[in-house]
Structure 1
Amino acid sequence: MFDLKTRSARKVYTDVLKGELPRLWFAQVPNFIVGFHNRGVFSDVRVENVQREVEEWEEEQKPQLKKLAALLRTLIAFGRGQPSGRFELVFEGGDSALELRVVGGVASCCISD
């Protein structure tokens, strides 16, 4: 598996990889291909195994990833506690907390049976 990106030749490679590391970690994609072009003509295509960089990113992000894991556990537990399994997650912004709400009234599901 690999992730493929294209960028203008004016972009610096490390900036491209740095911005993609969270997504590469989430998808567990170890191979990264980036092609740099000048007006549509590719002259620099780099194929790299970025497993080490992804692991380093994970190590640096451990506190935030632990919070994400705790949030996901909370969401799963709340959803399993609902008869329909459906709920809303609301965030007003700023310093407000996330709010979990039972879906009220008649609301059609966004996913077909």
Structure 2
Amino acid sequence: MEVINLLAIGQSLAIDRDYELSSCAHSTQLLLRLGEGQTYPLECHAKAIETITVLQGQCMLSANQQQFDLAVGEQISIPAGLEHQFLSNSACILLIHFSMLSEGLNDD
């Protein structure tokens, strides 16, 4: 076992770089560092639920014609199949977790 400092790792990343913390058959966990005012491309994960936790800074998530402002310590889960986009209101570090849907489940 090893204790890691998520903020230190996140702060050491280049802007718009992610760092894989862990991965297994049904789950992946990443750190992502964004610069101030950076817009992340529109994306959709057909077979995964994406959970975003703000570790540092502030960002906004846009999905389903709604906007969600997220600050340090706040988290949001995005259902599989939902197009979404986020942008950073300030330099930020995000913890992102993908939970893959089990076989046989659909995205409806």
TM-score range for the pair, normalised by the shorter chain length: under 0.3
Relative contact order higher in (CA < 8 Å, ≥ 6 apart): 2
Instruction: Decide which structure has greater helix share.
Output: 1
Instruction: Decide which structure has greater strand share.
Output: 2
Q: Based on CA coordinates, which of the two structures has the bigger radius of gyration?
A: 1
After TM superposition, the score normalised by the length of structure 2 is 0.24
After TM superposition, the score normalised by the length of structure 1 is 0.24
